[in-house]
Structure 1
Amino acid sequence: MDTPSPVKPKNLRRRLAVAGALVTTAALALTGCAAGAASPTDAASATSELRIAVPSYPGSWDQDFVAFDPVALALFKNVYPYLVDYGVTDVDGGQILDTENILPAWAESFTSDDGKLWTLKLRDGATFPSGNPITADDVKWSKDRAFAAKANVAGVYSLIGLTDPEQIQVVDDKTVTFDQAYPSALSAQIQAISLFIYDSKLMKEHATADDPWAQDWAAQNPSDGGLYNVESFTPGQEIVLKANKDYPAEDGPHTDTIRLTVVSDPAAESVLLQNGDVDIALGLGRQQIADLDGVSGVKIISAPSNEMISIPLNTTMAPFDNPLVRQAVAYAMPYDDIISTVYGGDARRPMSIVPIDMPGYTEEGFPYEQDLDKAKDLLSQAGVSGASVELAYAADNDEQEQIAILVQDALGKAGITVTPTPLDPATLGDRRDAKDLAMQITSGQQWVNDVEYLMNGWTTGAYLNYANYSNPTVDADVEASHTITDTDERNALWAEVQEQFATDVPVIPLAQPNYNLPVGDNVKGFVQPVDGLIRLKYLSID
């Protein structure tokens, strides 16, 4: 097959945003129909319209090149054709995405006998909104494009031994094989976030000699054919979605029309919700959401999440090049004050760099409580007196500002002078790229609920390793995990890794805030999106 030359990323400052998302261990076989009945949506039974206020318009419609754009990423989960998807499970009376139960969608089946060679079979009669049939060639073209882009999908595929487009082959019109370099426990989860496809015939019509992958056209025009199709869009203002009656969804969509209106002012967004002019307000800050609690006609949905708020300490910059100093800082941190003051108790405290609820989590991973006397003693042992450090945080983030002030006060009592430093997004990104921040506040959520996925960001030289941390034990354990599928063996590795992190303290986990969503009190059907990307198909209005 002739393949166009590699895509030249445009306006993509980071080639790989492995940051993002949470998914749990899935079975190594995805077959048959979605549990419960994978029948096409009965749009006639759906609620007529759901109105959602969003803080921004998508920066691009091209999923291969979007990073750090939560509105776009959430939108794409609902409109792009995905071949497999998550089920839903009940936890303590609430509904969450069941990442251990990954189901076929536009795929008829996706199976593997050995965890290395996977066979994808597409459903008969599946079509894109253009009328073009969904074929194996579309899958192959979409993944060739992803490898050429060297961005999101190519990055996560490398974690499961898919590094070359030749490893993905068309068998016939409805069958594609994925031949990984090795079996991986991450295979099913990685495919759940990566197996979206483009209408290759339509894309090729808009390709040029200078733009063989139609990147310019795809950035400005939606790809749909998923749970919802894009009925209309006005850049910067509004997007209207229509339920795709042909999509083989397990349940829903329960709303026929979704109207997303851009409201850049949070105060205005809040007023619209209170007045009943929108049903859901996405993108409000925690304090703005708290201010809506108790307001007539509004309810706040709150559910535990795996978002991790933490402080990496740059292990190559003084004074944090001394592990005793890093341990001292861990003992000085005001953990309880952060949970109670910044989050009003609406957060959990993780006792590890591994998030609570992730398989392999152990509270021995970070056995630190605030103890200023221990902090002072460790600083004395390290020979550090009167140290001054900068604490960087996102300038537009009120929560991080509050955390910075609490940390400044606590570390000051231990003998370290902290200067909170708000940085605009561009400057913060540049300095993170340069890895020249001694201390910073970070927030992230894992798209794959597995320690291997998380720890790939902490190996020597990894892009997201803001601490410049390097430990041969951690590197070796993460490398070994790539080809180990036995749960007990993997958990033994993760116990060792967490023990090493507790000793070396390259990062201090602070809190896991709950996921909060303000909605009208007549909104129902919410399913907790473990990756933070709301799924629209379950929502409806009484």
Structure 2
Amino acid sequence: MKTHPSRMRSRLASAAAATTAAALMFTGCAASAQSESSGGADELTVAITAYPSSWDQDFVAFDLIALMLHKNVYPFMVDYDVAEVEGGRILDTENIIPTWAESFESEDGQNWELKIREDAVFPSGNPITAEDVKWSKDRAFAAQANVAGVYSMIGLTSPDQITVVDERTVRFAQEWPSALSPQIQALALFVYDSKMLQEHATEDDPWAQDWVAQNPADGGYFVVNDFTPGQEIVLEANPDYPADNGAQIDTIRFKVVSDTASAAVQLREGDVDVAMGLSSPEIDDLADVEGVQILSAPNNDLLQVTINTESAPFDDPQVRQALAYAMPYDQIIESVYGGEARRPESLVPIDMPGYDDSRYEYDQDLDRAADLLESAGVEDLQLDFVYQAESAEQERIAILVQDALSEIGVTADPTPLDPATLGERRAAGDIPIQITSGQNWVNDVEYLVNNQYKTGAFLNYSRYSNPVVDANVEAARTVTDPTERNELWSEIQEQFANDVPAIPLVQPDFRLPVADHVGGFVQPVDGLLRFNFFTAD
């Protein structure tokens, strides 16, 4: 194992004085009181199926394991609070709380002031200062990747817009006021130990990208105590973490296993306490195993049938509407998910602010579906119904959809594609109809539409273009009043219902198989588990 370099440095003692954090504008967030050192006990072993591709959050791509670890070990200035929803605990995206920040507030939604907690320190012993925040965000803009991308959505496009006021205070001057600002900062406002990273920088690598890719730059809820690339990562509760949502478990040991089947076996045999990434059938198989429990909470991961609106005959809205009337919605929920799922009646997830189910009229009605196809002049339609090869749930859904469509004279051949091929074909835009799923990292319609349904959006696999949708999401950019925003979102959802660029099928509950002594689970609306909430009874 490697011992993290910062563990060999002296550690400054954290201050015991309490601080009061001001409420965030537009979030209604209560102050987060400072607590004593992270208090829990014992150890949890977590099975993961891959070692993180990089420890560098500015450059890592679609690696959910890496991003989950980053969320637990990086010092974020703010994060989500917790809310109760239908008997489960979930991260509350409408309330952002200070963590390493003492306060983060705005009078106008455009100009924000961050104040760092007094005596905040990195694991190296270096103080967390405004200069660290500034250097970290300069690095992000230089990378022109993750953070720079999401910052552009709130009018932060240049490092000059982020300025140091004093040792503990930073100002963010956006080009416009944005309701997305608190959530975007919960996603992006993490800080590097700039002094430590600069020690590893070179003339050819001024931001120490090579070093950070291989070495965790930590100091969040947890610190990285040891790591063996490809095998194991050991986290310890950060004794200097100041807020009241600090880690409840002393040690979290991430164990890399070969696949999800191995993770399930190890949980069954008591070799691990948490098994991540399991499919719904694998989780079902563990439901009656002694010593195992299935933690569950509502989820905003929406699975849908996405239709290429430029590909004949799907360029006719009647054909897309016909498919929407043909879908076996209830059968999918019961047969694939055993009832552990909800049916969304919009392309906006159920728990997203602005969700409006009054516009969507498509219950399964095979006669109506057949009539629409006839009206569109379509008969003997044959199609390849694409889904992700490794997904047992998507395979089962594809078979159910195949059976339903056969009732209206449509032949849909389930077509699995491996991730590489699927990515290539999605980028090329040549898949007529496919199953897609995903969880929005920002729980907001503006974010969703900008990424998936605005003309030319990066994830617009439906090749959808609607002037009302484009105009409304553009108009919403500077609107911060929730009522005004919801009116815009309702109009967008009406367009979605008429145009059917995709068919919302199901929102599976977030289910996590764990040992029966594990508690404290909070469903992560961004898909990134926070292990600071976990307990071991």
User: TM-score, length-normalised on structure 2?
Assistant: 0.93
Identify the residue that residue 17 of structure 2 maps to in structure 1: none
Identify the residue that residue 4 of structure 2 maps to in structure 1: none
Q: Residue 281 of structure 1 is aligned with which of 263, 270, 275?
A: 275
Q: Give the Å deviation of 1:266.
A: 2.4
Identify the residue that residue 487 of structure 2 maps to in structure 1: 492
SS of alignment partner, residue 125 of structure 1: coil
Q: Is 1:528 the counterpart of 2:523 in the alignment? A: yes
Unmatched tracts of structure 1, length 5 or more:
1-24
Identify the residue that residue 445 of structure 1 maps to in structure 2: 439
User: For residue 35 of structure 2, what is the amino acid of its counterpart?
Assistant: S
Q: Give the Å deviation of 1:94.
A: 3.3
8 Å CA contact 2:90–2:297 kept in 1: the answer is no
**Greater CA deviation, 435-444 or 167-176?**
167-176
**Greater CA deviation, 261-270 or 481-490?**
261-270
CA distance in 2, matches of 1:308, 1:365: 17
User: For residue 291 of structure 1, what is the amino acid of its counterpart?
Assistant: D
SS of alignment partner, residue 476 of structure 1: helix
Identify the residue that residue 28 of structure 1 maps to in structure 2: 26
Q: Residue 41 of structure 1 is aligned with which of 31, 37, 44?
A: 37
SS of alignment partner, residue 441 of structure 1: strand
CA distance in 2, matches of 1:148, 1:385: 54
Identify the residue that residue 508 of structure 2 maps to in structure 1: 513
Q: Is 1:80 the counterpart of 2:74 in the alignment? A: yes
Instruction: Give deviations 1:116-145, integer Å, cap 9, x for gaps.
Output: 100111122112112222111111111111
CA distance in 1, matches of 2:25, 2:412: 47
CA distance in 2, matches of 1:447, 1:147: 20
Q: How does 1:153-164 map to 2 (within 5 A)?
A: 153-164=147-158
8 Å CA contact 1:26–1:100 kept in 2: the answer is no
Q: Residue 357 of structure 1 is aligned with which of 351, 362, 371?
A: 351
Q: Is 1:144 the counterpart of 2:138 in the alignment? A: yes
Q: Give the Å deviation of 1:357.
A: 1.8
Instruction: Give deviations 1:466-497, integer Å, cap 9, x for gaps.
Output: 00000101000000000111111111111111
Q: Give the Å deviation of 1:29.
A: 6.9
Q: Is 1:377 the counterpart of 2:375 in the alignment? A: no
Q: Residue 60 of structure 1 is aligned with which of 30, 54, 57?
A: 54
CA distance in 2, matches of 1:437, 1:371: 26
Moved over 6 A (4+): 29-32
CA distance in 2, matches of 1:488, 1:539: 36
Q: Residue 535 of structure 2 is aligned with which of 524, 527, 540?
A: 540
CA distance in 2, matches of 1:54, 1:461: 35
Q: Give the Å deviation of 1:93.
A: 4.3
Q: Is 1:263 the counterpart of 2:257 in the alignment? A: yes
8 Å CA contact 1:353–1:366 kept in 2: the answer is no
Q: Give the Å deviation of 1:92.
A: 4.5
CA distance in 2, matches of 1:31, 1:532: 22
SS of alignment partner, residue 64 of structure 1: coil
Identify the residue that residue 4 of structure 1 maps to in structure 2: none
Instruction: Give deviations 1:13-69, integer Å, cap 9, x for gaps.
Output: xxxxxxxxxxxx9743788851xx3223244xx212111111111111111122322
CA distance in 2, matches of 1:229, 1:86: 20
8 Å CA contact 2:300–2:507 kept in 1: the answer is yes
CA distance in 1, matches of 2:442, 2:123: 30
8 Å CA contact 2:86–2:298 kept in 1: the answer is no
CA distance in 2, matches of 1:358, 1:32: 21
CA distance in 2, matches of 1:405, 1:324: 23
8 Å CA contact 1:31–1:110 kept in 2: the answer is no
SS of alignment partner, residue 447 of structure 1: coil
SS of alignment partner, residue 341 of structure 1: helix
CA distance in 1, matches of 2:227, 2:247: 20
Identify the residue that residue 13 of structure 1 maps to in structure 2: none
Instruction: Give deviations 1:237-285, integer Å, cap 9, x for gaps.
Output: 0000111110113133111111111112323222221222211111111
Q: Residue 394 of structure 2 is aligned with which of 400, 421, 442?
A: 400
C-alpha change, 1:195 and 1:268, in structure 2 (3 Å) is same
Q: Give the Å deviation of 1:325.
A: 0.7
C-alpha change, 1:29 and 1:291, in structure 2 (3 Å) is closer
8 Å CA contact 1:30–1:111 kept in 2: the answer is no
Q: Give the Å deviation of 1:459.
A: 0.3
8 Å CA contact 1:308–1:509 kept in 2: the answer is yes
User: For residue 536 of structure 1, what is the amino acid of its counterpart?
Assistant: F
C-alpha change, 1:434 and 1:335, in structure 2 (3 Å) is same
SS of alignment partner, residue 496 of structure 1: helix
8 Å CA contact 1:97–1:527 kept in 2: the answer is yes
User: For residue 162 of structure 1, what is the amino acid of its counterpart?
Assistant: L
- Percent identical residues: 63
Q: How does 1:149-228 map to 2 (within 5 A)?
A: 149-228=143-222
SS of alignment partner, residue 34 of structure 2: coil
SS of alignment partner, residue 414 of structure 1: coil
User: For residue 77 of structure 2, what is the amino acid of its counterpart?
Assistant: L
Identify the residue that residue 415 of structure 1 maps to in structure 2: 409
Q: Give the Å deviation of 1:149.
A: 1.6
> What RMSD over aligned residues (CA atoms) do the two structures have, in Å?
1.7
CA distance in 1, matches of 2:61, 2:130: 27
SS of alignment partner, residue 415 of structure 2: strand
CA distance in 2, matches of 1:194, 1:474: 27
Instruction: Give deviations 1:386-435, integer Å, cap 9, x for gaps.
Output: 22222211111111111111112222221222222111111111111111
User: For residue 496 of structure 2, what is the amino acid of its counterpart?
Assistant: F
CA distance in 1, matches of 2:483, 2:200: 50
Q: Is 1:470 the counterpart of 2:468 in the alignment? A: no
CA distance in 1, matches of 2:394, 2:119: 50
Identify the residue that residue 423 of structure 2 maps to in structure 1: 429
Q: Give the Å deviation of 1:381.
A: 1.2
Identify the residue that residue 309 of structure 1 maps to in structure 2: 303
CA distance in 1, matches of 2:405, 2:28: 51
CA distance in 1, matches of 2:79, 2:442: 13
Identify the residue that residue 12 of structure 2 maps to in structure 1: none
8 Å CA contact 2:344–2:505 kept in 1: the answer is yes
CA distance in 2, matches of 1:524, 1:473: 46
C-alpha change, 1:29 and 1:328, in structure 2 (3 Å) is closer
C-alpha change, 1:269 and 1:381, in structure 2 (3 Å) is same
CA distance in 2, matches of 1:345, 1:92: 15
CA distance in 2, matches of 1:355, 1:139: 33
C-alpha change, 1:350 and 1:33, in structure 2 (3 Å) is closer
